A and B are shown apart, each in its own frame.
Chain A
Amino acid sequence: MANKILEVKNLKKYFQTPKGMLHAVDDVTFTIEEGKTLGVVGESGCGKSTTGRAILRLHEPTSGEVIFNGENILTKNADEMRLLRRQMQLIFQDPYASLDPRNTVSEIIGEPLKLQKIIPDKAKRLEKVYELMETVGLAERLVNTYPHELDGGRRQRIGIARALAMEPKFIVCDEPVSALDVSIQAQILNLMQDLQEQMGLTYMFITHDLSVVHHFADDIAVMYLGQLIEKAPSGMLFDKPTHPYTQALLSAIPVPSLNKKRERILLKGEITSPINPKPGCRFAARCPYATDRCRSEEPKLKEIEPNHFVACHLCD
């Protein structure tokens, strides 16, 4: 049994809004094993990014526990957190917005090393920057360029190099390839895969693209309106999607081949508001199988077979 690097228990993040309490993340529980990738999928507004950020305490969780390497990080003070962040890093979605336009490549990649006082000496820091640039496949000559001079793929490589500077164990990747063209996307995915193998990294990979997550993740967690509704190893989830939402989501992926025509489940309506959600299953309004019980009683996440968790009354 591999070592659990991260355990998230009953994590909640609510935001106070003028219209009421927004349940962005509502009672989410999962674990990630060391060296593995957990894919978190769901549509916009389902709380996947907020979950990633709450784990790093970039949003302070409302309640719950985040246990990283055996320690509950939610009880740490700011100094302890700063040290812990060396081990927990984030790669952002938008390589255009997540890099400071006034800093050069070397300043961006070197900044965490400077801030965390790991390599205070400037010349030595530059050496490390060159090393990191090589790791992520950035040519040495780009060291003094600014982000606007580079294309999306190279920018995302900078973001990855910056995250790797701390030699982290765990990286939250928030839609790292969504803004990239397919041929570049594949380059970055392969790079991330290589880095994982070389450095034993653990990823939490947040995306809306199910084909990417199928390719990349060991386990997949599906979120809907702030809740985790199904979690299983990647192959199992794609072979036997059990929650009606997962089934619809998988059937909606356009597949680039002609040989297999698949049955498509079309959902009616759209994701409803996460503000003061009604009791009962949050998917009930769009679910083709919803019963009265679904509308009144909230389904709990249950293990229906080893490692396969589903929150749906239909599984009873």
Chain B
Amino acid sequence: MAQKNPKDLILDIKDLVIHYETDDGTVEAVNGIDIQLEYGKTLGLVGETGSGKTTTALSVLRLVPDPPGVIKNGSIFLDGKDIMNLPQKELEAVRGHLASMIFQDPMTSLNPVFTVGDQISEVIALHENCSKKEADEKAGDMLEVVGIPRERFAEYPHQFSGGMKQRVVIAMALACNPKLLLADEPTTALDVTIQAQVLETMKGLREKFGSAMIMITHDLGIIAEVCDEVSVVYAGQIVEHGTLVDVFNHTRHPYTEGLFGSLPNIEIKRNRLSPIPGLMPDPTDLPKGCCFAPRCKYATPDCEKARPAKKWLSDTHYVRCSRYDEPNFKIEREDQ
């Protein structure tokens, strides 16, 4: 297995476990996630609703709502800082400065009663020890960077369309030149041609500023376009991780195979999709063994006994599936 040098890592998460303790039971949202992300690289987290992608991202900035969220286990090092044990004051310096977040819904992540310019310059003034005037100046620059004319500085969010609002949110997130950008489904609420514009903007800016990024999405197409590495998340665990080529062209986990089978692909015309049968398990009542076993066509009784451990297939590629203990086990999806 490949151990990355901790010095090269912007983000090092080890064995993260987060539960939401509610009156109706304990929601096991994140169950032992590891992320090792190098400076300047982009990691895609792909998975379905409720798989724990967003909770993982929130934990990096310690934004998991508490209560009901409880971090049960694990460590998070962001640029060498121990996020779990950082005092509140220092956390505030991290958020928006060292790492910042782009949320899914641009309609609700802007404050409707402040102008977009003020909202961007607030971040800058807070983190960069400069006068209001300098901050405003820089906020104007940021607007131009994301393709919005400076003249719109004094307008309010409702005067912008969805794509423009998301650009404002991106400008805000990049205003202090963060080393890590957490993008939670940044284009899900947008139309395809606008999505293409926003993704292009984000790509350009990442190259310019050299930020690392975690891209959370359910869209494997977006992953293919912007990421270097990808982690497939199911029921709070990474079931397969590797480089883009590992996961897309040498798919190994049955769930990843299922995701590809469910997607209509414009490059390949198929008669029928091959969906994954059944539903995600109830996160308050996860199976003892492999969480995917109840839906998995390769599952054996052994799969229900214990959670599968990581199995490294190469220096960059691992999978959590106990069937690979058998030497000749293969899934149906062929290498591309």
Interface residues of A (CB under 8 A from B): 43-44, 151, 153, 181-187, 189-190, 193, 208-212, 214-216, 235, 238, 248-260, 264, 266-267, 270-271
Contact indicator A252/B279 (Cβ below 8 Å):
no
Which B residues are in CB contact (< 8 Å) with A193? 272
Q: A210-B192, A258-B224 are in contact. Are A185 and B262 (CB under 8 A)?
A: yes
Beta-carbon nearest neighbor of B199 in chain A: A254
Residue of A186, A187, A251, A257 touching B267 (CB-CB under 8 A): A257
Contact B193 A189 (CB under 8 A): no
The 4 closest A-B pairs by CB, nearest first: A254-B221, A186-B275, A215-B264, A186-B262
Question: What's the Cα separation between A185 and B48 when bound, in Å?
Answer: 11
Which residue of B48, B221, B262 contacts A255 across the interface (Cβ within 8 Å)?
B221
Interchain residue pairs with CB less than 8 A apart (30): A44-B191, A181-B48, A185-B262, A186-B261, A189-B264, A193-B272, A209-B264, A210-B192, A210-B266, A211-B264, A214-B264, A214-B266, A215-B270, A238-B266, A252-B192, A253-B192, A254-B221, A254-B222, A254-B225, A255-B221, A256-B224, A256-B260, A256-B265, A257-B248, A257-B336, A258-B248, A258-B336, A266-B196, A270-B194, A271-B191
Measured CB to CB, the closest approach of chain A to B143, in angstroms, equals: 16
B75 within 8 Å of A (CB atoms): no
Looking at the assembled complex, report how far the CB atom of B72 sits from the nearest CB atom of chain A, in whole angstroms.
26
The answer to whether A259 and B273 have CB atoms under 8 Å apart is no
Determine the distance from Cα of A186 to Cα of B191 in the docked complex, in whole angstroms.
21
For A235, give the chain B residue with the smallest CB separation: B269
- B109 contacts across to A, CB distance below 8 A: none
Q: Is the CB of B263 within 8 A of A211?
A: yes
Contacts A253-B266, A257-B224 supplied; 20 other A-B pairs, CB < 8 Å = A43-B192, A43-B194, A153-B279, A181-B280, A182-B48, A183-B259, A185-B262, A186-B275, A187-B275, A189-B264, A193-B272, A211-B264, A215-B264, A249-B193, A252-B192, A253-B221, A255-B224, A256-B221, A256-B248, A266-B200
- Whether B49 pairs with A181 at a CB distance below 8 angstroms is yes
B219 within 8 Å of A (CB atoms): yes
Contact check, A258 vs B269: say whether CB atoms are below 8 A apart.
Answer: no
B81 to nearest A CB, angstroms?
A: 34
B269–A256 CB distance below 8 A: no
Q: Which residues of B contact A255 (CB under 8 A)?
A: 221, 224, 265-267
B275 touches A266 (CB 8 A): no
**Is residue B195 contacting chain A, with contact meaning CB distance below 8 A?**
yes
B317 contacts A by Cβ under 8 Å? no
Contacting residues of chain B (179-226) with chain A, CB-CB under 8 angstroms = 191-197, 199-200, 218-225
Contact string, B126-163, partner A, CB cutoff 8 A, digits 1/0? Answer: 00000000000000000000000000000000000111
With a CB–CB cut-off of 8 A, which chain A residues contact B299? none
Smallest Cβ-Cβ distance to A262: which chain B residue: B267
Residues of chain B with a CB closer than 8 A to A185's CB: 262, 275
* A215-B264, A256-B221, A264-B196 known; A43 vs B48 contact (CB < 8 Å): no
Would B249 and A256 count as touching, CB distance under 8 A?
no
CA distance A211 to B274 in the complex (A): 15
Q: Which residue of B lies closest to A152 (CB)?
A: B49
A181 vs B273: C-alpha distance when bound (angstroms):
14
Contact B220 A270 (CB under 8 A): no
Do B191 and A43 have beta carbons less than 8 Å apart? yes
